[in-house]
Amino acid sequence: MLDNVDALDEEDLRSDPEDNREWLLLLLLGKFNFEKKFKSIFTNMLTKYSNESFNQAVKEIKQLGEFNITADQRKEIINNIIADRVAFLLPEIERATKNMIGASVSTAGDKDTLKQAIKETYAVSNERVATIEGVEFVTIRNATRIATAELSDIIAGVLVSDGDGCAICPTIDGQVWSLDYASGNLLQHPHCVRSFTFLTADEVEEYGGLDEE
C-alpha cells in the first residue's frame, strides 16, 4: 500500500518544520520512536491542564466548606491521572493516525502524489491537532476536578452542564450525578463540552437526589 514511502528522504520530511503535520508524517514513516519523542510533549500539556483544573477545583470546594489538601495528595492526583491518560493516548493516536493516513494514500502511485496525499489527509491536519487538544483539555479538566472532590468530605455530587446538541448530551444537561458516576462519564464524544459543578449533600437533596449513582 505504501510502496513509495522509502522514496521520501529527510529533506522531503522537513520542508516546513513549523507545520504541526510533520510529526504525524514522521510517525507514519517510522523515522523515530513515537512514544520516546512525544511522551514528554503530551505529559507537559496534560500536566498544565491538570494543574489549572486542580487549583480551580480546590478554590471552589473551599467556598463550600473547610478543605485541606497536602502537596503529596496533589502530586498523587495529577501524576496518576496523567500516567493513565498518556498510557491510553499515545498508542491510540499512533494507531488512528496510521489507519487514517494509510486509507488516504493507498492509491498514491508516485512520490509527489504520495506527499500530496499525506498533506491533505485529515490525520495530519491542524484541525485534528486542535481536536486532540480539545478532547484532552476537557478530559483532564473533568478527571482532575472529580479526583480532587473525592478527597473532600464536602462534595456529595455534581450538577452536569452538557447542552452541546448531540443526541445524548441534551438529556444529560441538568442531571445530578455521584462523583463515582461522573468519573466514569467524563465526556460523551470528541467535541463534548461537558462540565461539572460541585454540590454539597444539602444541595443534592434540593435537586431531588442523584439521577445517576
Of 1-15, 108-122, 150-164, which one has max mean pLDDT?
A: 150-164
State the pLDDT at residue 122: 82
Q: Are residues 135 and 207 in the same domain?
A: no
Query: Do 37 and 130 share a structural domain?
Result: yes
Q: How far apart are CA 34 and CA 93, in angstroms?
A: 10
**Separation of alpha carbons 171 and 113, rounded Å:** 46
Over residues 138-169, the pLDDT tens digits come to 999 999 999 999 999 999 999 999 887 788 88
For residues 33 and 116, membership in a common domain is answered with: yes
What domain range is 39 assigned to?
1-9+17-153
User: Are residues 110 and 141 located together in one domain of the fold?
Assistant: yes
Same domain, 160 and 171: yes
Higher pLDDT among residues 46 and 33, named by residue: 46
Question: In terms of pTM, does the model score above 0.75?
Answer: yes
Cell numbers that stand for 128 in this block: 485534528
Do 132 and 50 belong together in one domain? yes
Would the pLDDT of 187 be above 80? yes
Residue 5 pLDDT level (bands cut at 50, 70, 90): very low
Examine the fold and report which residue of 114, 136, 153 is the final residue of a domain before the chain moves on: 153
